[in-house]
C-alpha cells in the first residue's frame, strides 16, 4: 500500500520555475490569460523561468487553431516564454512509465467499469443525495475476476488507489493551510482507456520533470490538490508550492459570462484594446499594489508583484473600467503612434466605398481629433467616418436641433459661406477668427450657430472641436457640405 503524508509544508526552492499550461480545447479567454500573467510576473519578479506547456491530451475536445491562438495571444501581450512550447501529446512515454511504476507498487489499479455502470452509479448517488464519486468497485476485484476481465476486449482505465481514511493537508501560498478528508476523495483516473493521461497524472509528471517550483493556477483546481499531493507522495517526489488564484466574477457576482467579458483575448485585440491596457487591467483582477493605484506600467508590475498581495476573494470583472483604462493608454500614445495603431481598424471598418489605401498624411491629421474621444481603437472608424466620406446620409432634422428655425439657419449658412470664401489660410485659427464674430452679427448664440455648422459639416451634433474639424476637412469639402445643407433645410419647412 502507498505511504500517505498527512501534512505537506512549503519548501522554498532556490530556482523559481513556473508554467502556463493551457489546454487547446478552446481559445484563451481572460481567465486563462490572467493565470499566465500572474505566473509570468512572478517569474520575472524573481528572475525565474516561465515555461509554456500545451496540455493537449484531451484529443476529443481539441479545437482546431487553439494552439496558434494561445501563442498569438501571449505574443500580443508581450508575455514571452523562456522554455517551450512543449506538448504533452509528445510525452506519452513518460506517463506510461510512471503508471507502470504505480501499478507495480500497488498504488494504482486497472478499472474495467463500462460507462453504463458508472452512469447508473452516479444517478443512484445523486438520488441518495451523495456526492457522485467512483465507488471503488474494481479496487476489490479477485484474481479470478481480474483474469476474466483481462481476457475480455475491454480497454481498462488506470485509477489511483486513494487512502480511505485520514486527512491530506497542504499549504497554499494564498489561502494558507487547507485540509481535505481523504474519505471525500475518490480513486481518480490516471490513464484513460485510449492511452492518454488525465490532467492529474500528466501535470504532476511534467511539473516534476520540468522542475516546476511553484504552481499558480485557478481556484477551481484547489479541490484537486490533495489528489496531486498524494500522487507526489506515492512517487516519492517533492511537490511544488501551490497558489490558487481567486475566481473572476461578473458584476452580478455570478460566473463570468460572454455577455460580461468572458470572450477570447483575440476578441479584445480585434475590438481595439491595447495590450498594455489589458495587462494592467488583468493584473488588478485579484491583485493590487494598494487601495488607490490603478495605472501601472509593465515594469512597475514586475517590480511590485508578489503573492502576498493576491486577494483570497473573487475578483469582479468591470468592462467599463477596462474601457476607461484603455482610453487612458490610448491618450498616452503620441499622435504618430495613435495614427499607426488606428490605421488597421480604419482599413477594416470604414465603408468599402472609401478609396484604399488611405492617405497616411490625412489619417495623421484626423487622428489627433479623435484620440481624446475614443475608448478603443475600434471606435475610431465610427467616430471619424465623416472625415473620409464624400457622400453620406444623416438625419437632416439635426440641422435645426439647436433650436434655429429654417429661415435663420439658411441665412446663417449663407453668410458663413460668403465670409469663408475669402479665407486664404484654411486653418483652425483663421476659421475661428472669421466665424466667431458672426455670432454677434447674426445675433445668434455661439452654441446655436456653431451647432448648425457642426451638423452641416459632420452630420452629427457631437463631434471633435468645430474649427479643427473644418480645418482638417478642407475648404472644398466644407463648402460642398455647407451647400448641401442649404439645399436640405427647406425640406424641413
pLDDT of residue 153: 83
CA distances from 266 to 33, 74, 85, 272 (A): 11, 10, 19, 10
- Please tell me the distance from the alpha carbon of residue 451 to that of residue 321, in angstroms, as a whole number: 31
When pLDDT is averaged across residues 221-248 and rounded to a whole number, the result is 96
- Catalytic positions are 258
Q: Where does the pLDDT of residue 3 fall: very low under 50, low under 70, confident under 90, or very high at 90 and above?
A: very low
Q: Counting beta carbons within 10 angstroms of the beta carbon of residue 460, is it exposed (0 to 12), middle (13 to 18) or buried (19 or more)?
A: middle
Please write the tens of the pLDDT for every residue from 182-232.
Answer: 999 999 999 999 999 999 999 999 999 999 999 999 999 999 999 999 999
Please write the tens of the pLDDT for every residue from 254-274.
Answer: 877 655 555 789 999 999 999
Dihedral angle, C-alpha 235, 237, 241, 244, nearest 10 °: -10
For 126, residues 6+ apart whose C-beta sits below 8 A from its C-beta are 132
CATH of domain 333-387: 1.10.8
pLDDT of residue 126: 93
Domain limits, the chain? 113-153, 333-387, 396-492
Fold match flag (333-387 vs 396-492): no
Is the pLDDT score of 7 beyond 50? no
Is the pLDDT score of 11 beyond 50? no
Which pTM was predicted? 0.90
Q: Report whether CATH 1.10.10.350 matches the domain 396-492.
A: yes
When pLDDT is averaged across residues 313-342 and rounded to a whole number, the result is 96
pLDDT of residue 431: 97
Is the pLDDT score of 410 beyond 50? yes
Is the pLDDT score of 472 beyond 80? yes
Please write the tens of the pLDDT for every residue from 358-377.
Answer: 999 999 999 999 999 999 99
Residues 392, 459: contact at Cβ < 8 Å? yes
Q: Where does the pLDDT of residue 383 fall: very low under 50, low under 70, confident under 90, or very high at 90 and above?
A: very high
When pLDDT is averaged across residues 50-71 and rounded to a whole number, the result is 94
- Please tell me the distance from the alpha carbon of residue 268 to that of residue 376, in angstroms, as a whole number: 10
DSSP state of 287: B
Is the pLDDT score of 147 beyond 50? yes
Q: What is the mean pLDDT of the chain?
A: 93
State the maximum Cα–Cα separation within the chain, in Å, rounded to a whole number.
Answer: 108
When pLDDT is averaged across residues 305-319 and rounded to a whole number, the result is 94
DSSP state of 171: E
For 239, residues 6+ apart whose C-beta sits below 8 A from its C-beta are 8, 170, 228, 229, 232
3-state SS, 69-131, equals HHHHHHHHHCCCCCEEEEEHHHCHHHHHHHHHHHHHCCCEEEECCCHHHHHHHHHHHHHCCCC
Please write the tens of the pLDDT for every residue from 424-440.
Answer: 999 999 999 999 999 99
For 448, residues 6+ apart whose C-beta sits below 8 A from its C-beta are 402, 403, 404
- Please tell me the distance from the alpha carbon of residue 463 to that of residue 102, in angstroms, as a whole number: 70
When pLDDT is averaged across residues 147-163 and rounded to a whole number, the result is 92
- Please tell me the distance from the alpha carbon of residue 470 to that of residue 431, in angstroms, as a whole number: 8
CA distances from 424 to 100, 387, 402, 413, 467 (A): 88, 21, 30, 19, 15
pLDDT of residue 310: 97
- Please tell me the distance from the alpha carbon of residue 430 to that of residue 415, in angstroms, as a whole number: 16
Amino acid at each position: 500500500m502507498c505511504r500517505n503524508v498527512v501534512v505537506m509544508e512549503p519548501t522554498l526552492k532556490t530556482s523559481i520555475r513556473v508554467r502556463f499550461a493551457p489546454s487547446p480545447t478552446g481559445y484563451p479567454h481572460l481567465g486563462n490569460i490572467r493565470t499566465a500573467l500572474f505566473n509570468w510576473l512572478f517569474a520575472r519578479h524573481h528572475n525565474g523561468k516561465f515555461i509554456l506547456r500545451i496540455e493537449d491530451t484531451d484529443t476529443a475536445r481539441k479545437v482546431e487553431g487553439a494552439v496558434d491562438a494561445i501563442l498569438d495571444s501571449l505574443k500580443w501581450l508581450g508575455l514571452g516564454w523562456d522554455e517551450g512550447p512543449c506538448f504533452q501529446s509528445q510525452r506519452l512515454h513518460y506517463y506510461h512509465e510512471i503508471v507502470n511504476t504505480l501499478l507495480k507498487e500497488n498504488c494504482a489499479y486497472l478499472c474495467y467499469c463500462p460507462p453504463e455502470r458508472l452512469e447508473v452509479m452516479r444517478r443512484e448517488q445523486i438520488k441518495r443525495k451523495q456526492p457522485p464519486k467512483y465507488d471503488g468497485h474494481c479496487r476489490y476485484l479477485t484474481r479470478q475476476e481480474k483474469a476474466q476481465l483481462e481476457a475480455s476486449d475491454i480497454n481498462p482505465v488506470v485509477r489511483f488507489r486513494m487512502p480511505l481514511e485520514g486527512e491530506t493537508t497542504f499549504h497554499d501560498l494564498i489561502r494558507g493551510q487547507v485540509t481535505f478528508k481523504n474519505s471525500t476523495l475518490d480513486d481518480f483516473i490516471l490513464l484513460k482507456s485510449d492511452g492518454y493521461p488525465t490532467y492529474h497524472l500528466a501535470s504532476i509528471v511534467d511539473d516534476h520533470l520540468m522542475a516546476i517550483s511553484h504552481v499558480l493556477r485557478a481556484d477551481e483546481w484547489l479541490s484537486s490538490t490533495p489528489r496531486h499531493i498524494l500522487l507526489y507522495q506515492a512517487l516519492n517526489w517533492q511537490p511544488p508550492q501551490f497558489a490558487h488564484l481567486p475566481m473572476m466574477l461578473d458584476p452580478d457576482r455570478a460566473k463570468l459570462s460572454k455577455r460580461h467579458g468572458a470572450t477570447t483575448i483575440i476578441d479584445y485585440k480585434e475590438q481595439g484594446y491595447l495590450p498594455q491596457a489589458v495587462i494592467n487591467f488583468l493584473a488588478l483582477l485579484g491583485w493590487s499594489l494598494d487601495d488607490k493605484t490603478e495605472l501601472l506600467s509593465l515594469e512597475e508590475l514586475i517590480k511590485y508583484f508578489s503573492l502576498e498581495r493576491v486577494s483570497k476573494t473573487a475578483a469582479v470583472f468591470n468592462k467599463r473600467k477596462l474601457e476607461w483604462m484603455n482610453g487612458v493608454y490610448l491618450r498616452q500614445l503620441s499622435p504618430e503612434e495613435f495614427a499607426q495603431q488606428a490605421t488597421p481598424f480604419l482599413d477594416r471598418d470604414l465603408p468599402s466605398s472609401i478609396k484604399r489605401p488611405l492617405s497616411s498624411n490625412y489619417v495623421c491629421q484626423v487622428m489627433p481629433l479623435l484620440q481624446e474621444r475614443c475608448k478603443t481603437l475600434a471606435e475610431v472608424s465610427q467616430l471619424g467616418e465623416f472625415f473620409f466620406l464624400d457622400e453620406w446620409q444623416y438625419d437632416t432634422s439635426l440641422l435645426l436641433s439647436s433650436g434655429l428655425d429654417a429661415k435663420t439657419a439658411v441665412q446663417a449658412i449663407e453668410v458663413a459661406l460668403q465670409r469663408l470664401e475669402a479665407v486664404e489660410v484654411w486653418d483652425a485659427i483663421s476659421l475661428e477668427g472669421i466665424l466667431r464674430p458672426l455670432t454677434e452679427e447674426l445675433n445668434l448664440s455661439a452654441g446655436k450657430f456653431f451647432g448648425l455648422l457642426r451638423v452641416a459639416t459632420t452630420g452629427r451634433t457631437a463631434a471633435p472641436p468645430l474649427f479643427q474639424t473644418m480645418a482638417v476637412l478642407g475648404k472644398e469639402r466644407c463648402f460642398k457640405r455647407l451647400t448641401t445643407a442649404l439645399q436640405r433645410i427647406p425640406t424641413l419647412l
